[in-house]
């Protein structure tokens, strides 16, 4: 779980139903079909406000529905791990709006490594940088714009451990309905059937596939 020097944010108390590239990796940018008509401006702005206040929500990412919250807010991160029933020792993916966001996690990469990363970013590929940090720069323009306003977001699939990822907001609500006010908002984007992101890691200056 990434460390942060940021101050603790106020938790939202209300729930809102806002309805060198390794071999074998291929970009799947066209596989995700988000229904943007469901994500009207009012719902989107409300979700951004909740996230900036340290809230937790379910929303479309560039791959599948994600359980998301501010990555640099330790209280928010702890809430997500509890909802996910995830071991604290297992890092989650963090969505960033720009490569420069990596510096927020005290990560500075040499130009040679940045050149390699630029071969796969932006896109549905998450990169493990160390034992506690795994990031992705989405290809989705609307998502990157959202991330510029909220800051980096921890984003794990919208399901408890051991269950398949939710493909709709309705499925996500069925997963988390028993946790009371654990979810502060749901942002609908239709049915999403894309696969989770490919995961790769840096090893000896090269990118190695961890999860195709």
In a domain, 101, yes or no: yes
Q: Mutual orientation of helices 141-150 and 41-52 as an angle, nearest 10°?
A: 40
In a domain, 124, yes or no: yes
Average pLDDT, the chain: 83
How large a percentage of the chain has pLDDT more than 90?
Answer: 59
Q: Which residues contact 204 (CB under 8 A, 6 or more apart)?
A: none
pLDDT band at 40 (very low <50, low <70, confident <90, very high): confident
pLDDT of residue 8: 42
Cα(143)–Cα(177) distance, integer angstroms: 26
- The tally of domains found in the chain comes to 1
Cα(58)–Cα(127) distance, integer angstroms: 22
In a domain, 6, yes or no: no
Partners of 83 in the beta sheet? none
> What is the Rg, in whole angstroms, of the alpha carbon atoms belonging to the chain?
16
> Which token pair is 124?
């549905």
pLDDT band at 11 (very low <50, low <70, confident <90, very high): very low
In a domain, 106, yes or no: yes
Given a cut of 60, whether residue 134 has pLDDT beyond it is: yes
In a domain, 138, yes or no: yes
In a domain, 141, yes or no: yes
Pairing mode of beta strands 198-203, 125-130: parallel
In a domain, 10, yes or no: no
In a domain, 170, yes or no: yes
Residue-number span of the structural domain to which 87 is assigned: 29-211
Instruction: Give 51-103 pLDDT, tens digit per residue.
Output: 999 999 999 999 999 999 999 999 999 999 999 988 888 889 999 999 999 99
- Tell me, what CATH number does 127's domain have? 3.90.870.10
Distance of CA 210 to CAs 4, 25, 201, 202, Å? 26, 11, 7, 10
């Amino acid at each position: 779980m990434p460390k942060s020097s940021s101050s603790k944010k106020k938790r939202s108390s209300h729930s809102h139903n806002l309805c060198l590239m390794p071999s074998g990796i291929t970009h799947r940018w066209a596989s995700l079909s988000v229904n943007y008509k469901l994500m009207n401006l009012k719902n989107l702005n409300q979700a951004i406000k909740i996230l900036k206040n340290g809230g937790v929500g379910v929303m479309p990412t560039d791959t599948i529905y994600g359980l998301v919250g501010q990555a640099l807010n330790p209280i928010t991160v702890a809430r997500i791990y509890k909802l996910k029933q995830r071991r604290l020792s297992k890092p989650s993916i963090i969505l960033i709006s720009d490569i420069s966001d990596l510096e927020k996690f005290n990560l500075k990469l040499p130009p040679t490594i940045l050149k390699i990363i630029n071969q796969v970013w932006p896109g549905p590929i998450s990169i493990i940088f160390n034992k506690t940090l795994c990031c992705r720069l989405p290809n989705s323009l609307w998502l990157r714009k959202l991330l510029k306003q909220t800051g980096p977001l921890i984003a794990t699939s919208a399901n408890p451990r051991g269950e398949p990822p939710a493909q709709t907001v309705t499925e996500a609500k069925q997963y988390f309905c028993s946790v009371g006010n654990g979810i502060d908002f749901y942002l609908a984007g239709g049915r999403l059937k894309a696969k989770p992101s490919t995961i790769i890691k840096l090893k000896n200056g090269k990118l190695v596939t961890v999860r195709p």
